[in-house]
Structure 1
């Protein structure tokens, strides 16, 4: 037992367990891949999409390819929208529809097929007359015949057995796809013989329910169907028997229109020095597998200048020369019966420019006022629209609109600049930009924008005003406010106990024009605010002085509180009690009926820290709320009141105190 208490041995044991079971899993997986050692009884002749196999000694499913050997006691299954054709060594052929599963077990005399679910067709051509087929332990001879079975929802049905049907389906073919729009599509159905027959269409391979059932004496019919997966068959019935055709599956799919989204039709694409890189793009359809992009200089695409395949929804093309072009994209489907589809043809042209437009100016905008401190501290951003044609810009600032007196000039590769230069308050200045291409072609200068230098705005404090006396409530604080400015930035708010701000007790940065500070004791205070733009100080307000004359204390309820129960049969009196506050003029008490939408029942003033309710009129057993406020008198005689404190309680009154009188008068009075 001592080894179980040793962490080292426990960890070692767990590691060994993991290694052992990992080895066993690898052996199981490898045996699944190898397919086991049972004899080969056939092969996977053909498949569509996903087909899987599991040997009798494995629990792992493995996807298999065409020509893969099938071993005795293998289990085969197909996924949704998948099919498989198996050929056995004796000549039998087993066809599995989608979502089907079988297990094959062959001995010396019998072919045993355990049919689990789905749809299966067995054709016996080439089998000897001695061959015996057992499906789900039910025997039946195959003599160059065919048996088709369906099994869904636990029910099994035989579609045709050991005989040749006289009804042959012609169209739609097995697993054929039809394109449709949102209104549906008319699907043509055709079979070999005329006569009184009935066509059935269902969404279930077992035909538990049919969506179309029509009788006809023709050998073809057109039926409108919406998007979906369908099964169809034809049968005829006489006095002797019912004869069914085979069951075929087909699909009606809704395809979205294919069109090029870039470039747009009739687009003009410009370039300066070298041909542009053009992105051709389109939207993917649900069933699309690949695309082919074609470019030509003729609308009939007799000769293409570009032809490329891709799995993506875009292609980049470079080195197209100046000229007119036509483009289209073709989508391919990885589905039998669906032909490639082309988008509408678009037209575009590529034009080489000999002149390049000048850059468009952005900031500062024309006639904008600019604070001088932004220029002095190189924090004013000049920027303009960038251009893929231009690699270099020339930036100029001048005192006149004709740029005879240039005070600053710079060449740069970016479309912005921050620079300081000498300016005068109240004066107007002008700026402009020109560009240069990779090939050395220069644009003309842009239209000049003007800006005017101004002094920083003065910050104006609003509250508290200079010399004011305040009576804030405890824990409520004092709100400081100032006027909004036209310059975007942030404000630094400071509060000090001295006018030189050597002892700053409160400092905060804010983008708003107000802030709340908590001062916990009376005294004289000074406050100011300073505006900054990107850490550059623009302006500072004057200093206001204010006095906290008294911190108003809110009363603290003692009884009743927190939903306490007040039973008048026990206490005889309803007394409200609270903690006394100093220098209070009086207290305000209000009583509300909580069960009557907080109706006010009583309002009382008391100079003592308690109050007895003597008038019980209108009271009942139930929930109540009472509020308590302290009332003070300021030095100038103004009355101030603290925020009401709420408390709740439950009142229980004696029943006999408010018992409804019983009427003894007879219910009927007789008057002569």
Structure 2
């Protein structure tokens, strides 16, 4: 059918419109640099590891670098072991700790921070500028307003808020009303209500948000604090989360200081102190501490003293060095002189490798220097100086064997089923490689002699159990050849075992609901093809078998395992179910959640008359499996829960003698049972928290008084 002129014009217009719209859609979806028309409100002062930003009009996250601009309605987030410091135009500084996210918005008189997750610090400028605004931080149904203050704010696993004021004041507004916090006060808002604490333990060193560069595997950190007056027993707690849940270190200290050895990472720490008389627990603020690896890079390639040979054009030289997780940029310097002057190459590299083909014949020296982040207290760390030689030759070196490596053991079934793969490295000028496999190191008993144009070859010939040797040589286009490479030895033998991953050996798993728990079993894949059989038993000899589960991959789940001690292993089986390999035996234990503690006195809803009492007695029934109890005592005043005492005891009673802390009114005490390791005090399992509300009165019982006339008439 022949198209008319109008049909052709309409078709052309339609095609042009479709192409234009497609391009605009593609540009919108892939644009990562546009900020729209929002106002510039600040800049990223510094970043460590990974920080990302999302513009208000986009759905794409972009990684941000130091000095990047921040615009109104931007969302900023950080990843694991990462940090971002944002400085606003009015001088306010916001620090996002790892795995944190905020949305920033600016109005005429206020600056609002929508806190979504993680932990942040907000610090107002000590001297207000002309453009200073009120800073509000909102999270859930709560709003924190800074009043020339510095605050730390974090969310726990249940989205509860933990706010600490370290300078100035802050107003905390919630559905319970407004509470003004002053310096060294802490408020916790969660499912159990709002609790206000006075932080009476003062932290001295390390300073808040300190960065400690280290040149070894661990840093010896000295923690120093100041205790309130009186006799106290302090405890140092260190965790890798801002709520200090499951601390990695919790130890009793002597006096006002204690050391701890910490590897690279981000940590949170505080000090709690138990009054030796009243047993009341006092606490400090929670501080963040970053241990940064500042060791120099280790040079990998070219190897020190190595000779790089070429026949025609300059060789492509690969410079490779070790990665430091605290450093993202490095400086490469290459020189012909030992003092590294008159550099022939001097460049900044993002990452840990770069390739250069500008170096001709000669002797060279090279080093790597880290490019530090000054904000984190790091200094440039320089590597050792290595040397290499670039030599022009007429004959190239032979290919270099890679796999199988020296003394590698290979199961014969693996060769039968999928062959044996040999790999090597060679100069790109070598077009073909010859491989020989022999039963002796002199290569008088050659088993295989093959060629390949690639850097690998798969041998499918049957190899009996025993020791074998293999070597290589390059075959050139002009008929010449390289020398033979060094010979590598490998063994064909029926040995080896599967490696188990989880549950770990001697693991303790908690059944919180008391109905059994699902457990995922996993292991490392074998080099042999086949299926897997998971075996679970009540005894190490597997005579009391609980379950056998076949698996095609390296993990499987047991949907329900009840309390008890179990043993497990994995067998590699062939298509007929016959065993090929077996793993070692691991054990694990499933234990139930601790029962809810039951109060003996005072019970919920009771009234305690303290007139003739010299102490408030708290007693409860022992919980099976518990060896420690966490007790808290609070007074309720205008909807705010004020902490009076917090103790941990192995007894089933607690006596609070500080009567001046007890006024008439509403109180409650909380109780949680713990199963803790006797040595490290690490909590293995815990019960739900019981809460008992009661009232305290300081008056005596009223006597009944009967009024009657002075004269009684009897009938």
1 or 2 for the larger relative contact order (CA 8 Å, sep ≥6)?
2
Pairwise TM-score range, normalised by the shorter structure? 0.3 to 0.5
Task: Pick the structure with greater CA Rg.
Answer: 1
